Structure formats: C-alpha cells, structure tokens
Amino acid sequence: MHELSLCQAIAGVVKPHAEGRRVNVVRVQIGALRQVVPESLEFCWTLVREYEQLADAELELEFIPAAVKCRSCEEDSQIESRWSICCPRCSSPDVEVIRGNEFLVTSLEVA
C-alpha cells in the first residue's frame, strides 16, 4: 500500500508551509498514471494526519486525466486506460506522456 508513504510525503510538504498554523484543507493533484487508489489514500490520510498533528486537515483530491502526444501521427489525445498508453487514434506505442504523472500539493487552507 504505497498510499501510506504518499500521505507521509504530503504531510512532509504541508507542515513546513503551515508554519505551526492549523491546516484545514490540503489540495493535491494526482495524475491518472500514478496508480493511486483514492479511497486508500483518503483512509491513509486519516491515519497520518493524526500522527503528524494535522488532525483537522481534510484532503481534497483533483484527478488529472492522462494525455499523450503521438510521435507517429502527431495527435494529442487523452487516454482512458491506466494500463495502456498507446495512441488512441493510431494505436502507436511511440508516445510522449504530456499529462497524467502529476503528484503535487497545490494549496493549503490554514487558520
């Protein structure tokens, strides 16, 4: 369950920026290719936030769909499958991932 280590990493980013203030909301972008189970991440956050003295901090997740640029047909396309990153237009595996690898704390709401 790598979601637990991801939550620990989130807390490690949040605490220094909070500077001792109470954190109400932590907003995180997660790309579709990160293989994160949202329910598991949210559960792990409830464990980590207690341990890290962030008990009031809610986790808001924004999921970013995956997109690729095909080197064969030069098409930019959103991909639906987390298991295949071939071009949806021409089926070429020669693609560059342009979106979907994100894992980023985007903002905090503090008191």
Region 3-9: mean pLDDT is 96
- Residues at the annotated binding site? 2, 70, 73, 87, 90
Confidence of residue 81 (pLDDT cuts 50, 70, 90): confident
What is the pLDDT, as a whole number, of residue 83?
Answer: 74
- Residues at the annotated binding site for Zn(2+)? 70, 73, 87, 90
- Residues at the annotated binding site for Ni(2+)? 2
Inter-helix orientation angle 38-51/3-18, to 10°: 50
Region 8-16: mean pLDDT is 96
Region 55-84: mean pLDDT is 92
Region 12-41: mean pLDDT is 94
Task: Fold for 1-110, please state it.
Answer: hypothetical protein PF0899 fold (3.30.2320)
What is the pLDDT, as a whole number, of residue 1?
Answer: 57
Rg over alpha carbons for the chain, rounded to the nearest Å, is: 17
pLDDT digits over 44-62, tens only?
Answer: 999 999 999 999 999 999 9
75: CB partners within 8 A, 6+ apart: 69, 87, 89, 90
